[in-house]
């Protein structure tokens, strides 16, 4: 089954802790994205990648880091968690041929206390 998977589904962090949100896709897509979704705010792009080894900042990158060592994986790193990072995080991917449909993972709900 073609899929975007995210782990964990839920996480509670204390201020200052760090964690990595995992994202994996099995569709051999070149393009991958990280979004955050805040209530009433829609989705905001955090980082994106056009292929292994290539990443770039989106609209709201502060406080986050990414890497893309393989086509399949695109982890998102929070180094020093802050309450403002409480949100739902979505990973998405799309292929190079049909760059107009993004496939989304189920999301990670993160709370920073």
Partner 1 sequence: AQSVTQLGSHVSVSEGALVLLRCNYSSSVPPYLFWYVQYPNQGLQLLLKYTTGATLVKGINGFEAEFKKSETSFHLTKPSAHMSDAAEYFCAVSEADTGFQKLVFGTGTRLLVSP
Number of residues assigned to the chain: 113
24-43 positions binding partner 1, by CB under 8 A: 31, 40-43
**Number of other residues whose CB lies within 10 A of the CB of residue 32:** 28
52 binds partner 1 (CB under 8 A): no
Please identify, using beta-carbon distances, which residue of 19 and 43 lies nearer to partner 1.
Answer: 43
99 binds partner 1 (CB under 8 A): yes
Number of residues that bind partner 1 (CB under 8 A): 22
Nearest-Å Rg of the Cα atoms of the chain is: 13
48 binds partner 1 (CB under 8 A): yes
Rounded CA separation 70/9 (Å): 22
């Amino acid at each position: 089954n073609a899929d975007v998977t995210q782990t964990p589904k839920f996480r509670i962090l204390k201020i200052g802790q760090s964690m990595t949100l995992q994202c994996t896709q099995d569709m051999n897509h070149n393009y991958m994205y990280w979004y955050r979704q805040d209530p009433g705010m829609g989705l905001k792009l955090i980082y994106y990648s056009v292929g292994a080894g290539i990443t770039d900042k989106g609209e709201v990158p502060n406080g986050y880091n990414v890497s893309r060592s393989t086509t399949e994986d695109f982890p998102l790193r929070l180094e020093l968690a802050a309450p403002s990072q409480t949100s739902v995080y979505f990973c998405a991917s799309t292929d190079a041929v049909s760059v107009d449909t993004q496939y989304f993972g189920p999301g990670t709900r993160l709370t920073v206390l």
